[in-house]
Structure 1
């Protein structure tokens, strides 16, 4: 398990300079005008749902990556703490956001991370699917502890849709927990990738103490919002 996680971390370090190509549908991820527009329309649904939370004082972003969603969180958060295991990702994020003082960055291994304070909102995108199934419940329990009473969690992740990935990636089984990923230079890595169904994600969030709702866009994304309910 440790070696598998190390390979996954190495993959995202190596992928940092080309990660945004996936999100912005560039190069190997360009699926043509129609599918690209469908993707961006669904991204707009996610952004709208996030903005509907309204202004909050403090946000914790886990696996902040290159700042695609950090810049959206800036629209609703007064202070953001952004964590990522990759120094390369953090550097890109910091540059993209013009080194804003609103965001505090920390290089952290999220598998060993323990929350030290509570936040109004804990947010993470395209991260839960990379957590090994044996560690998901413990990870979500930590997320629960990081949310203040009556605070929220907001999660974005992937649906199983072959056109969401690179044109030279071929995924046939949504129940397989591993994927082989290829970089632009042809180098390959194996990572964890788990596709959650809404009922499963609701169950997992409910079990740790959130009152949760889960929705899907038409093709590409699943997203969840949970409110912390104090346990009796």
Structure 2
């Protein structure tokens, strides 16, 4: 049986999420990102969206003034909190589409491997919420996957809006159909243009990194 609930999949798979970072072919990219990301967020008061198990939270916390890490899943938040190694990190359960009002509280927002799970028809709503809740001039940093044959999970289908989907299988054999988009730079620039400025995109073989500021 296939499920389409992204949150349910990540709740059930929370303990195995970080295994994707063990792939040998991705180690050079990850080493570069472990240097780049903390520098981008150095000294910032960071709101992290969809923190998962806290892999990137731990790296950001080493240089950020503070990190407030959020995720919609209690299971992920519990793991992230258990793995925390810095005293400047706080955690909370929060829906990325229903964030509390926090204008002036943060100077940066980071979302790692979240944008690819946002359906194309919902991306503008997500960006509009960030602007409304956080205020203008806040630094936005997005980190996500490039599609690479042989390393990425195969795309199972594409829907009428252009969203692509993967089939993820848990150790139990339970199968989930998960939206996972792989946008080109031109698409990212066009989609974000109405909500942000100063868009910069860097592509590595397996990942892309985007920085901009909310208008």
How many residues were matched structurally?
209
**Pairing of 1:92-107 with structure 2 (within 5 A):** 92-98=79-85, 100-107=86-93
Paired residue secondary structure (2:171)? coil
User: Are the counterparts in 1 of residues 38 and 64 from structure 2 also a CA contact under 8 Å?
Assistant: no
**Matching of residue 11 in structure 1 with residue 9 in structure 2:** yes
Q: Shift in Å at residue 211 of structure 1? A: 1.6
**Which residue in the other structure is 2:207 paired with?**
221
**Matching of residue 117 in structure 1 with residue 103 in structure 2:** yes
> Using the alignment, how far apart are the partners of 1:69 and 1:60 within structure 2?
12
Change (3 A) 1:68 1:142: same
Instruction: Give every structure 1 segment of 4 or more consecutive aligned residues whose post-TM-superposition deviation is greater than 6 Å.
Output: none
Change (3 A) 1:159 1:60: same
Deviations, residues 124-183 of structure 1 (Å, cap 9, x unaligned): 111011011111011012223455544311100111113334xxx533768652221111
> Using the alignment, how far apart are the partners of 1:129 and 1:186 within structure 2?
24
Paired residue secondary structure (2:130)? helix
Paired residue secondary structure (1:156)? strand
Deviations, residues 10-40 of structure 1 (Å, cap 9, x unaligned): 0000110111111223xxxxxxxxxx1x311
**Pairing of 1:65-80 with structure 2 (within 5 A):** 65-80=52-67
**Which residue in the other structure is 2:19 paired with?**
21
Q: Shift in Å at residue 57 of structure 1? A: 3.8
Superposition RMSD in Å = 2.2
> Using the alignment, how far apart are the partners of 2:8 and 2:41 within structure 1?
36
Greater Cα offset, 121-130 or 48-57: 48-57
> Using the alignment, how far apart are the partners of 1:134 and 1:92 within structure 2?
31
User: Are the counterparts in 2 of residues 65 and 89 from structure 1 also a CA contact under 8 Å?
Assistant: yes
User: Are the counterparts in 2 of residues 147 and 153 from structure 1 also a CA contact under 8 Å?
Assistant: no
User: Are the counterparts in 1 of residues 119 and 163 from structure 2 also a CA contact under 8 Å?
Assistant: no
> Using the alignment, how far apart are the partners of 1:148 and 1:80 within structure 2?
17
**Pairing of 1:139-154 with structure 2 (within 5 A):** 139-147=126-134, 149-154=136-141
Paired residue secondary structure (1:61)? strand
User: Are the counterparts in 2 of residues 177 and 193 from structure 1 also a CA contact under 8 Å?
Assistant: yes
User: Are the counterparts in 2 of residues 198 and 222 from structure 1 also a CA contact under 8 Å?
Assistant: no
Paired residue secondary structure (1:112)? coil
**Pairing of 1:24-43 with structure 2 (within 5 A):** 24-25=22-23, 36=24, 38-43=25-30
Change (3 A) 1:156 1:97: same
Gaps of 5+ in 2: none
**Which residue in the other structure is 2:74 paired with?**
87
Greater Cα offset, 38-47 or 144-153: 144-153
**Matching of residue 128 in structure 1 with residue 112 in structure 2:** no
